[in-house]
């Protein structure tokens, strides 16, 4: 079967496990055997990157290759007895995270501490040895205090995005919109792959999709993190209440507050989710109506590119197969 193209792949389970490893939850399954040539090559890449950052590599005590994937290399570096994480990106597009760190720092959004950077590399604090932050655990994110702390970080992100002329300010020009995946052609491609689809109704949806995209962009568009997972959360070591910092910004983009908040609360326990909503505050009801239609459509565009349909998109597929997606279209048209 020919799957339709999509804009942005969801983070895979391998990538998620990788970030757990990078920040201290080391998984032996990720570490491939490395020969002397591999180690020499990795050490050379790390050294040359550190030189570009202005470091004297004579002070590099050790370099531990962690992972290489799709041109991205990760290392644990010890300089003058202090441990850091070095992320080297293989090409300009992959280095979008470097620009994201700079943007968030400029806007005052809390991030991991950046020790040094180039256009295609970051030297970051190592959460294994950080005095102030630690990697969150799965148990942490089910707690009320963690839910409230997360809301504080997300509100800072969204408020900062609202203060910038997104898409106009050159600092944000590299950020994508998830809704860019929704076009008349991609909607019709979904219709062709959904069992028992009513082609007439899908044609109506395709005919309205540009208006819907414009409505999303005309809402209080802001910076969105887009794909929260507890393995990308750091919490303060001694804070009462705790302070949260979400990291890993390669999917940072533009979108609606409600969508980003729903992405967080949907994977939290009820107590933590309620604490998040209470600490964050209300989102725009109109954004909720838009999100209820746009989110499953974006999920289906992504899912149908896979060789095997992913489990995370089955609920969206059910909405399409039962026709509920068209009822949601009617509700969107009512508010536009």
Domain extents in the chain: 25-126, 140-335
**25-126 matches 140-335 in fold:** no
Strands (E) across 126-251 are located at 133-135, 222-224, 233-236, 244-246
pLDDT at 289: 97
Over residues 294-317, the pLDDT tens digits come to: 999 999 999 999 999 999 999 999
For the chain, the average pLDDT equals 85
Over residues 23-72, the pLDDT tens digits come to: 333 333 333 344 445 556 778 889 999 999 999 988 888 999 888 877 78
pTM of the model: 0.83
Q: What is the rounded distance in angstroms from the CA atom of residue 150 to the CA atom of residue 160?
A: 15
* Secondary structure string (H, E, C) spanning 120-144: CEEEEECCCCCCCEEECCCCHHHCH
Cross-strand partners of 87: 74, 122
Give the residue ranges of the chain where pLDDT is below 50.
1-36
Q: Residue 266 corresponds to which tokens in the numbers above?
A: 């949907």
Q: Please tell us whether the domain made up of 140-335 is placed in CATH 1.10.260.
A: no
pLDDT at 60: 87
| Pick among 3.30.200, 1.20.120, 1.10.260, 3.40.50: CATH of 25-126 | 3.30.200
- Residues comprising the chain, all counted: 336
Q: What is the rounded distance in angstroms from the CA atom of residue 149 to the CA atom of residue 121?
A: 29
Q: What is the rounded distance in angstroms from the CA atom of residue 185 to the CA atom of residue 171?
A: 31
297 CB-side CA count, 13 A: 30
């Amino acid at each position: 079967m020919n799957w339709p193209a999509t804009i942005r792949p969801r983070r895979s389970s391998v990538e998620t496990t990788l970030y757990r490893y990078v920040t201290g939850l080391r998984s032996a399954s990720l570490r491939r055997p490395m020969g002397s040539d591999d180690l020499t090559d990795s050490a050379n890449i790390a050294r040359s990157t550190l030189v570009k950052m202005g470091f004297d590599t004579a002070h590099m005590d050790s370099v531990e290759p962690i992972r290489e994937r799709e041109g991205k290399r990760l290392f644990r570096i010890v300089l003058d007895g202090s441990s850091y994480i070095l992320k080297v990106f293989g090409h300009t597009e992959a280095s979008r995270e470097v620009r994201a760190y700079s943007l968030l720092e400029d806007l005052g959004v809390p991030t991991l501490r950046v020790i040094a950077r180039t256009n295609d590399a970051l030297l970051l604090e190592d959460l294994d040895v950080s005095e102030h932050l630690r990697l969150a655990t799965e148990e942490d994110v089910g707690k009320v205090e963690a839910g409230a702390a997360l809301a504080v970080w997300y509100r800072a992100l969204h408020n900062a995005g609202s203060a910038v002329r997104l898409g106009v300010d050159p600092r944000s020009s590299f950020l994508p919109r998830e809704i860019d995946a929704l076009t008349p052609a991609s909607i019709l491609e979904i219709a062709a792959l959904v069992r028992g689809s009513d082609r007439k109704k899908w044609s109506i949806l395709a005919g309205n999709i540009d208006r819907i995209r414009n409505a999303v962009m005309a809402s209080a568009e802001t910076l969105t993190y887009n794909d929260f997972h507890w393995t990308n959360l750091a919490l303060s070591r001694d804070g009462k209440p705790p302070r949260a910092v979400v990291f890993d910004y390669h999917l940072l983009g533009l979108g609606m507050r409600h969508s980003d908040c729903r992405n967080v609360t949907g994977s939290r326990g009820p107590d933590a989710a309620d604490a998040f909503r209470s600490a964050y505050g209300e989102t725009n009801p109109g954004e909720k109506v838009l999100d209820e239609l746009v989110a499953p459509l974006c999920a289906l565009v992504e899912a149908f590119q896979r060789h095997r349909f992913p489990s995370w998109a089955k609920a969206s597929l059910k909405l399409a197969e039962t026709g509920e997606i068209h009822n949601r279209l009617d509700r969107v048209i009512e508010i536009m």
